[in-house]
Amino acid sequence: MAGSAPADMSEHPLPDGFTVVFDTSVRIEPETRTLVGGSPMRILRFSEAGYRLIETLRSADSTDPVDLRATNGATALVRKLLHAGMAHPTPAALPAGTPPPSAMVVIPVFDGNEQIDPQLDVLPGVVVHDGGPHQDEGVEQADGAGHRYLRTDDNRGPAAARNLGAASMQAEVVVFVDTDVEVHEGWLEPLLAHFADPTVGAVAPRILPSPETTLIGRFEAVRSPLDMGPDPARVAADSAVTYVPSTVLLVRTTAFTSLGGFDEELRYGEDVDLVWRLAEQGWTVRYEPQVEVQHRNRRSWTAVLRQRRFYGSAAAHLHHRHPGSVAPVRLNIWSAATWALLAVGDRRMQALGVAAAAGSTMALAQKLEGKVRNPAATAARLGGRGTVSAGRWLAEAVGRTWLPLAMTSSLVSSRARKITACALIGPSVFEWLERRPDIDPITFTALRIADNAAYCAGVWDGVRATRDGGALLPKFTGIPGI
């Protein structure tokens, strides 16, 4: 298919000047030439020659890049590390005289009074007015920015507006930017540099909320659904970063065209669907947090919670298109059994829960035999961390997906009431202790519960609309880390 991803990405070396940095999750075992980490977590064992290259990559930095093209086997090994989420590419600056790929910006608007960042004036592009009010102001705004102006006759949604804009352009990369975004000088070049890699289909920067002293601003500083965090990542449904928003999203035009653009049937979640389809077609989607842009916060709590509800409503529609990728929680079967037995309350069942956790650790230790220096200790660390994390994910799922079921159970069971209370309060307390937001813990907990409840309401809206409860179901895997 024209515009499809390269058939075998392992055959495509990184472009000249690209460097590789290891993910913060990776643990290297020199004695067994093994790497543990990545997303999802896995174990890779290397030959002596492969491990020497690993050591070379680990000791190199941007001032002393490794010539990957001149090293036998380097291309396949590096591609394997990148795909496993164990390493991430850092593009080099373009050589002097080398032009970046051509790019044009598409800015969807609904209200013509929306403000467009003047920094976007440096890019040729188009403003697409999606059938909203103040169309005359939208024309003036587009003219003032030097962009062409298009409009739809009625409100068709952001996906349709972006598709209309992209179809009117001729450029190697289309840059989708929302009107409530502020960029800074030099933000675009590091993102465009990723497209020197022929396997890259899309790139997104880190999106931070505007720094504000209001309660909304302080809450969004730690709970914005648009901020994917400080670490680079390969974006995929099974990765640490499962999606990136189209608030700012750069897409290779051939890749975008081959997919037919955004799914116009989706009013929300169309960006998640697009990046997942790119990954399914073989393209790499990169999250590049070294580039930061700012997103203006909602002006009221009503608007904040309405946004969360809209986001939640996309879950059922996304499940229909990508079964299993929108599970409220992903956990291995051992951790699920452990927490289910502990929740029963009967001492014998709780003892069985502890035994399940111990059994999973022993099974993992056997899998690690000969691959790490201390299999028992590594298994205890990975298994214990996985079990604790699973407990937090399950608790989070209660507030974000299963709240109606939990509240109904609480009406007839005192144990269910205790479990529900712990599930709602516990994750908020843990996050407050980890992030230390500029909000007192009681207020933060209340806001976080309301945030999750609004998202949960949206999830159930989508389930009712699609008559498909698949988005409510957990996803189980096997032994942790394998």
Q: How much of the chain exceeds pLDDT 70, in percent?
A: 89
Q: Mean pLDDT over residues 331-357, rounded?
A: 83
* pLDDT (0 to 100) of residue 260: 95
Residue 20: is its pLDDT beyond 60?
yes
Residue 412: is its pLDDT beyond 80?
yes
Closest C-alpha among 93, 88, 76, 75 to residue 37: 88
Looking at residue 433, the DSSP 8-state letter turns out to be H
**Is the bond preceding 40 in cis, omega lying within 30 degrees of 0?**
yes
Residue 479: is its pLDDT beyond 80?
no
Residue 475: is its pLDDT beyond 70?
yes
* pLDDT (0 to 100) of residue 474: 92
Q: CA-to-CA distance for 198 and 11, rounded, in angstroms?
A: 11
Least confident of 66-80, 279-293, 325-339: 66-80
Locate 20 and state its tokens.
């590789």
Which of helix, strand or coil describes residue 69? helix
Can you tell me which residue has the tokens 């709970």? 223
Residue 73: is its pLDDT beyond 70?
no
Q: Is the dihedral of CA 475, 244, 309, 322 positive or negative?
A: negative
* pLDDT (0 to 100) of residue 289: 96
Q: Mean pLDDT over residues 215-221, rounded?
A: 96
Q: Are 262 and 272 in contact (CB under 8 A)?
A: no
Least confident of 122-136, 205-219, 282-296, 404-418: 122-136
Q: CA-to-CA distance for 259 and 3, rounded, in angstroms?
A: 9
pLDDT in tens, 227-266: 999 999 999 998 989 999 999 999 999 999 999 999 999 9
Give the pLDDT band of residue 63 (cuts 50, 70, 90). Answer: very low
Give the pLDDT band of residue 1 (cuts 50, 70, 90). Answer: very low
Q: Are 107 and 129 in contact (CB under 8 A)?
A: no
290-to-16, 89, 241, 244, 335 alpha-carbon distances in Å: 20, 12, 15, 15, 35
Q: CA-to-CA distance for 459 and 454, rounded, in angstroms?
A: 9
pLDDT in tens, 81-95: 999 999 999 887 765
Q: Are 406 and 420 in contact (CB under 8 A)?
A: yes
Residue 344: is its pLDDT beyond 70?
yes
Give the pLDDT band of residue 304 (cuts 50, 70, 90). Answer: very high
Residue 454: is its pLDDT beyond 60?
yes
* pLDDT (0 to 100) of residue 8: 63
The CA-based angle 159-160-161, given to 5 degrees, is: 90
Looking at residue 436, the DSSP 8-state letter turns out to be -
Least confident of 48-57, 228-237, 321-330, 466-475: 48-57
Higher pLDDT, 212 or 138: 212
Q: Mean pLDDT over residues 349-356, rounded?
A: 84
The b/e string for 409-430 (b: 16+ C-beta within 10 A; e otherwise) is: ebeeeeebeebbeebbbbbbee
Q: Are 230 and 206 in contact (CB under 8 A)?
A: yes
Higher pLDDT, 348 or 230: 230
Highest mean pLDDT range out of 50-59, 155-164, 444-453? 444-453
* pLDDT (0 to 100) of residue 67: 54
Closest C-alpha among 360, 431, 365, 357 to residue 393: 431
Give the pLDDT band of residue 49 (cuts 50, 70, 90). Answer: confident
* pLDDT (0 to 100) of residue 134: 57
Q: Are 174 and 107 in contact (CB under 8 A)?
A: no
206: Cα separation from own chain's centroid: 10
pLDDT in tens, 97-125: 667 889 999 999 886 566 777 778 778 88
* pLDDT (0 to 100) of residue 242: 94
Locate 360 and state its tokens.
């999973």
Higher pLDDT, 53 or 477: 53
